[in-house]
Structure 1
Amino acid sequence: MSAPPSAKLPTYFVSHGGGPWPYMKEQYGHTYDKLEASLVDIPRQIGGKPKAVLVVSGHWEEQEFTVSSGAAPVMIYDYGGFPAHTYQVKYPAPGDPELAARVAELLAAAGHTAELDPHRGFDHGTFSMLAPVFPDADVPVVQLSMKHGFNAMTHIEAGRALAPLRDEGVLILGSGLSYHNLRMFGAVGRTPSHEFDAWLNHTLRELPPDERLEALLHWGDAPSARMAHPREDHLVPLFVVLGAAEQEAAACVYHEDEFFGNLAVSSFRFGAPAVADAAPAPQLTAEPEPSAK
């Protein structure tokens, strides 16, 4: 195991794909190749394996911020209709009760109620996303829930409170999707996904920090926002990781214009990578493509 990176770690918002895709290579073929390559590249970008990972999962919502605090998290197969073997997969990364207590402490010091849950396991927004990043499952993992109501400023403030973890060897990953509307997951989703993705890339990568924050607080006014996110659970993790790196530049570390044939999806890094040759931002289409009929 490599030594933990010594510099301040960047944060990431990851479009985590659908269901248990890393365990379905035969079924999906090359569908997830680009996403997988971007995830595999994260350890190189940060200069090695971190001390631990804190995942803000788009699949966990509680009345108050809640932190998984068990030493040996179980698996949560929170999906349906997949092959039988995907309900037997294991991602045996250890938990980190000490880190969980630190997360709760930081949140409480910033005025946020934070609870510990020793029974919470890894949902698929965590284990499917981490399987390509740390395939040996040898990095401790703690999950942080979203807070009910999905208030953008509340989650940005939570990220601000958690920023010190970046200097403590903890990698903060927001796991969601830049486009998440399963009822518009095909040709009908082409235009809304491209419109919202173009806005998101412009907002995160090109606006100065104060303007970026203001735009994200009013994300619902973005083009096709509520078609891209009829319920914003898969967008909210972005607010936390942005808050933890609020003044730092964003880079698009994964982008596809034709995910599942039609959709535009992206992942982002906030803060500088540890290596100068980290993957450059992909070229994006200048304008959304017309809707397929």
Structure 2
Amino acid sequence: MRTMETTQPVIFLSHGAGPSYYMSKSDNPIFAGLDKDSKAADFLRNLKSNAKLKLPRAVLVLSAHWEEPVCTVNTATNPSLYYDYGGFPQEMYKLQWPVPGAPEIARKVKDLLQSKGIRCNENNKRGLDHGVFVPLKLVFPEANIPVQRILTVFQVSLLKNLKMSDHLAIGEALTDLTKEGILIIGSGFATHNGGRPGNQVPDWALQFRKWLHDVFTNPNYTADERKNKLLSYSSEPSFSLAHMPCEHFLPLAMTCATAGYVAGKILYSEFVMQSLLNEHYIFPVS
């Protein structure tokens, strides 16, 4: 049953540079601004209060770091962590976040997607990738939430075809879950082009931010107008500089679709490493 207490918003998080949120700036100056002592890390630690989040029944994550030929739901009971990054200090491969999965809910999500005409498989072996555990270990550090309820987390994959229309359809199909107490989080990055040390933001990145804010926060667009802007994303000249390919952008588009293409609110915005736009969005669900 839907109530105002169970309905969840939809959130997009820029998830950092590998495990940088657990690394010191002094030892790894290249990740300044995305390090463990950064404003960005502090914001995620306080996301529950910053976003006024209510107790979720479960968390479903759409991560840029899981692509499959067919949409796939993670049904692991006790998922491991998948350290899908390379070249970092050894201790970054020992991070732990012992959160249980949500296999029963995940299978219902599979049925839901199939009922909407979306082919869907399940996978009970894959661990939670760093697009999940890196940001959410900060948000839910003890892998639990208030009132002595255990946090459960599962994933729905992206598609290898990276086709915008297919991903918007998946996002749209998940809408009703928000009314059942499931917190849906898209995990990617507002821009994803590597970045480099320094503070000089290039002109193309400023242009892309302007386009991004217009698409996702302009209250004057109808749902159809906003969707059409997403479908025509490649016509924005700065897009190919901000995302190539677009897998880190798709979770943002999908969260917007899940919320019914309403205008979102920017929770946090900061350029780091010159052109990496570290932004988080929240989309209300009515």
What is the TM-score when the length of structure 2 is the normalising length?
A: 0.87
Q: Counterparts in 2 of 1:39-78, with a 5 A limit?
A: 39-44=44-49, 45-78=51-84
1:201 maps onto 2:203 in alignment? no
What is the TM-score when the length of structure 1 is the normalising length?
A: 0.85
Q: Counterparts in 2 of 1:239-254, with a 5 A limit?
A: 239-254=253-268
Deviation, 1:167, is 1.1
1:126 maps onto 2:132 in alignment? yes
For structure 2, the 5+ residue unaligned runs are: 145-150
Deviates more, 1:134-143 or 1:189-198: 189-198
Report Cα offsets for 1:12-45 as digits up to 9, x if no partner: 1111110112321354586232322332343222
Given residue 98 of structure 1, which amino acid in structure 2 is its aligned partner? E
Instruction: Call closer, same or farther: CA 1:41–1:249 in 2, change over 3 Å.
Output: farther
1:228 maps onto 2:242 in alignment? yes
Q: Counterparts in 2 of 1:111-150, with a 5 A limit?
A: 111-138=117-144, 139-150=151-162
Instruction: Call closer, same or farther: CA 1:164–1:272 in 2, change over 3 Å.
Output: closer
Q: Which residue in 1 is equivalent to 2:19?
A: 20
Deviation, 1:193, is 2.2
Instruction: Call closer, same or farther: CA 1:5–1:87 in 2, change over 3 Å.
Output: farther
Instruction: Call closer, same or farther: CA 1:173–1:28 in 2, change over 3 Å.
Output: farther
Q: Which residue in 2 is equivalent to 1:92?
A: 98
Kept after mapping to 1: 8 A contact 2:188/2:248: yes
Kept after mapping to 2: 8 A contact 1:8/1:166: yes
Deviation, 1:116, is 0.6
Q: Which residue in 2 is equivalent to 1:265?
A: 278
The number of aligned residues is: 268
Kept after mapping to 1: 8 A contact 2:196/2:274: no
Deviates more, 1:42-51 or 1:118-127: 42-51
Kept after mapping to 1: 8 A contact 2:178/2:285: no
Q: Any idea what SS the aligned residue of 1:254 has?
A: strand
For structure 1, the 5+ residue unaligned runs are: 274-293
Kept after mapping to 2: 8 A contact 1:245/1:270: yes
Deviation, 1:240, is 1.7
Report Cα offsets for 1:122-149 as digits up to 9, x if no partner: 1111100101111111211001110121
Instruction: Call closer, same or farther: CA 1:114–1:230 in 2, change over 3 Å.
Output: same
Q: What is the aligned-residue identity percentage? A: 34
Kept after mapping to 2: 8 A contact 1:5/1:50: no
**Residue of 176, 181, 202 corresponding to 2:193:** 181
CA distance in 2, matches of 1:17, 1:5: 32
CA distance in 2, matches of 1:232, 1:186: 23
CA distance in 2, matches of 1:22, 1:265: 13
Cα RMSD (Å) of the superposition?
Answer: 2.2
Which portions of structure 1, spanning 4 or more consecutive aligned residues, are displaced by more than 4 angstroms? 186-189
CA distance in 1, matches of 2:56, 2:197: 37
Instruction: Call closer, same or farther: CA 1:262–1:65 in 2, change over 3 Å.
Output: closer
Q: Counterparts in 2 of 1:278-293, with a 5 A limit?
A: none
Report Cα offsets for 1:157-182 as digits up to 9, x if no partner: 11111111101111000000011112
Given residue 222 of structure 1, which amino acid in structure 2 is its aligned partner? E
Instruction: Call closer, same or farther: CA 1:84–1:95 in 2, change over 3 Å.
Output: same
Deviation, 1:189, is 6.5
Deviates more, 1:119-128 or 1:207-216: 207-216
